[in-house]
Amino acid sequence: MVNLQILNSTLEGNIACPPSKSYTHRAIAIASLSSDSSVIKNPLISRDTLSTIIACKMLGARVEESVKNKSLLINGKESFDVPDNVINLENSGTTLRIISSMSALVKKGYTVLTGDESLRKRPMKPLISALNQLGVECFSTNDKGTPPIVIKGGGIAGGDVNIEGNISSQFISSLVISCIYARSEVTLNVKGKQVSTPYIQATMETMKNFGVQINHNPEYSQYIVPLGRYKGTTFTIPGDFSAAALMISAGVLCGGKISIKGLNFDYPQGDNQILDIVKNMGGNIRVYKEKGEITVTGSNQLKGIECDLSNTPDLLPAIAILSLKTTSPIKIYGISHARLKETDRVSVLASELRKLGVSISTWKDKMVIYPIRQIRNATLDSHNDHRLFMAFAIASLLTEKSIVTGAESVDVSYPVFLNDLKRLGANINLLK
């Protein structure tokens, strides 16, 4: 475990937003399902996306990285060979979900997917059930519906399938990506409330760039997946609003003035909701869409708000730490699925922010954070969750001196996070 000592700091300067982790996963997977060559420009190379690259290679795709050109050259296949070993997906839930459906396209044999301790707790029952309905033999090796997962090859039969929508949008993304190669057209019917719809929109937008259009109803509760094939293309990964949201919070809390460059407002990303949230809280933020840039100036105090994060669970850590400067409560709804991430983010945020002096009430799907009277120094445990580590590191910049555990987790989604903070003026020391 790598721990950091973080001292009170003011941030100032410019940084480039890292590429989108979500779009990188999707582009690599879809390019691996095309028998043509594709070039993925500006990919995020991180621990999570490397899991997707390794998995696609083990299924038979050829993936070559050009560091000089900051790109990936991918030669894929419409059906795969059985992997010669168990595929270890480390900590990547997105990879687990997407590769599960892709593994059904193995010509013959069984694919076994596993990961680290955290990944082996991630729920998979809805996707397993959906694949079973589509004629795929797929099962968990335990009675909990969690990894390891075994998928028998032989293809996807197709037809109608019912799937729960309240746990993860990644189940839908997984199915629509692979089901274009089913033997008959697939209709996905979502039962219950669909969470994180913007991530499904991102999946379909990426598929569109590779020549496949998905039909859906306005409520995103039914999807018609046509039979087709992906065409090789050149696809540029946009900047990641999930990462930008945390740096926006850093600017609001600890600026100075910082500029975040390299954003693209043309692609669906639900986490761009952070812009309206910060504006509604009275934060000093300016958006330059044509330039792909955001400028944030520090605020002495913010207004509390109410917000629904059903579609944007990754914003929870960024919004929670903004409470450190609010004069009225923040009420956050639609967060039950944030309990099913790398950690139970609702519980961990509550327990750790209380160490700073924050008063928080939580329910299954709701959190209320009250204005803090005085911030305290603390030792904050990120539970090796990358988004929580980044949020706690930013929050600690407001203290005189605090310690945050789990610095190694940032390579999951934002490998240069600490370098960016230091470049902006953060006083951070590695503890040995």
CB 11 within 8 A of CB 417: no
What's the rounded Cα separation, in Å, for the pair 349 and 382? 9
Angle between helix axes 47-58 and 21-32 (nearest 10 degrees) is 10
The rounded distance, in Å, linking the Cα atoms of 297 and 251 is: 6
Catalytic, out of 314, 381, 385, 420: 314
Query: Distances in Å between the alpha carbon of 133 and those of 160, 182, 189, 200, 301?
Result: 8, 12, 12, 21, 53
The beta strand positions in 249-328, using DSSP E, are 255-261, 284-288, 293-297, 306-308
* DSSP E strand stretches across 253-372: 255-261, 284-288, 293-297, 306-308, 330-333, 360-362, 366-369
Query: What's the token pair of residue 48?
Result: 């999570």
SS3 245: helix
Per-residue tokens: 8: 């009170």
Task: State the Cα torsion 379-414-56-203 to the nearest 10°.
Answer: 110
Of 134, 232, 125, 145, nearest in space to 175 by CA: 134
Give the residues across from 6 on adjacent strands: 402, 428
Rounded to whole angstroms, what are the CA distances from 204 to 186, 199, 201, 208, 253?
A: 15, 9, 5, 6, 35
Tell me whether residue 314 is one of the annotated catalytic residues: yes
Contact 52, 92 (CB under 8 A): yes
- Whether residue 349 contacts residue 341, with contact meaning beta carbons closer than 8 Å, is answered with no
CA atoms within 13 A on the CB side of 383: 16
At 271, list the tokens: 């986490």
Contact (CB, 8 A) for 59 and 83: yes
Write out the catalytic residue numbers.
314
